[in-house]
Amino acid sequence: SIEEVVDREEDLEPRAPIVTVMGHVDHGKTSLLDYIREENVIAGESGGITQHIGAYGVTLESGQKITFLDTPGHEAFTAMRARGAQVTDIAIIVIAADDDIMPQTKEAINHAQAAGVPIVFAINKIDKPTANPDKIKEKLAAMNLLIEDWGGKIQSHDISAKTGIGVNELLEKVLLEAEILDLKANPNKPAVGTTVEAYLDKGRGYVSTVLVQGGTLRVGDYVLSGKHHGKVKAMHDERGKNIKMAGPSTPISILGLDGAPTAGDKFNVFEDEKEAKQIAAKRTQLLREQSVRTQRH
Ligand code: GDP
């Protein structure tokens, strides 16, 4: 088994919140993620976000950072949780102000609450003449979800993912929520984290995006995720830039694994390549035995 090192309080440093966007289909999850991705160009960086790697980081005018999982919807959220991965710190739940609290809105709320992840509501499409954000808030209140303006504790902001109205303020509220969570990690240890997505690229081989949750990942590290392993040959950020090291809350795409781990598989760094290979072989063996057992049933 892989030992989890318990961090000492004095080794912990603040880290950016990791945010998932959920909500009913067509309520504007993709539009919101696209808007934030396109609008945010880090000061001093030459370009905006150019690569889809499954997650991206933005820096607000205040200098504070937020990491977004770039897979809208709760399928990814629940798939990761099913593998024991708790990646999300805060959930933005998008609700179209010209619609209603829909089944997938309720599901998203339930998933976030079951995971103990705080919710920030984004009441979207307020640019539409038919938008009625108050009706949405009333319905939320009826479900015992009282937002701040209504005397409750849940953050909410009216936005338009199309025009961008309110999006900055929404992100400030996400940061307020993050402040309460007091998110910290130890950057000075071998990296641990979760695979967000992975695929085979014809030219480059297996490419996986990992989210570093603790420690620092470096080119040359020997990584094991699920049943796949390998030495990190190169790392790129969402701007396509070559990166040598990545600390907590940083999403990074890596080259060098011998296969594609499943989204939600944890990753660890090994000093000893042999040990990583042994664990990978053991996991492959276990999976084989499990599939034989299921076939017999
Ligand atoms: P998703 O299924 O939740 O990812 O929703 P999308 O982002 O794909 O949006 C569904 C539709 O609503 C698209 O046609 C968007 O252009 C539109 N849409 C999303 N946000 C807004 C908004 O703030 N205002 C308006 N008018 N349309 C929006």
Query: Residue 291: its pLDDT value, please?
Result: 79
| Contacts for 207 with CB less than 8 Å, ≥ 6 apart | 198, 199, 200, 201, 253, 254, 255
CA of 189 to the centre of ligand 1 (A): 42
**Share above pLDDT 70 across residues of the chain, in percent, rounded to a whole number:** 95
Query: Residue 297: its pLDDT value, please?
Result: 60
Instruction: State if residue 34 touches ligand 1 by the CB under 6 angstroms criterion.
Output: no
Instruction: State if residue 124 touches ligand 1 by the CB under 6 angstroms criterion.
Output: yes
Query: Residue 47: its pLDDT value, please?
Result: 61
As a whole number of angstroms, the distance between CA 87 and CA 81 comes to 8
Q: Look up the ipTM and state it.
A: 0.99
Q: Give pLDDT tens digits for 205-263.
A: 999 999 999 999 999 999 999 999 999 999 999 988 999 999 999 999 999 999 999 99
Going 156 to 159 to 161 to 166, the CA torsion angle's sign is negative
Q: Give pLDDT tens digits for 118-155.
A: 999 999 999 999 999 999 999 999 999 999 999 999 99
Mean per-residue pLDDT of the chain: 91
Q: Does the structure show a pLDDT above 50 at 44?
A: no
Q: Give pLDDT tens digits for 152-211.
A: 999 999 999 999 999 999 999 999 999 999 999 999 999 999 999 999 999 999 999 999
Atom of ligand 1 nearest to the CA of 72: 4
Q: Does the structure show a pLDDT above 90 at 271?
A: no
Going 84 to 267 to 20 to 69, the CA torsion angle's sign is negative
156's tokens: 């909410």
Query: Residue 73: its pLDDT value, please?
Result: 77
Question: Contacts for 42-49 with beta carbons within 8 Å, 24 or more apart?
Answer: 45/239, 47/239, 47/240, 48/239, 49/238, 49/239
As a whole number of angstroms, the distance between CA 233 and CA 230 comes to 9
Query: Residue 175: its pLDDT value, please?
Result: 96
The confidence band for 43, taking pLDDT boundaries of 50, 70 and 90, is very low
Entry pTM: 0.92
Instruction: State if residue 74 touches ligand 1 by the CB under 6 angstroms criterion.
Output: no
Q: Does the structure show a pLDDT above 70 at 282?
A: yes
Atom of ligand 1 nearest to the CA of 163: 23
CA of 159 to the centre of ligand 1 (A): 12
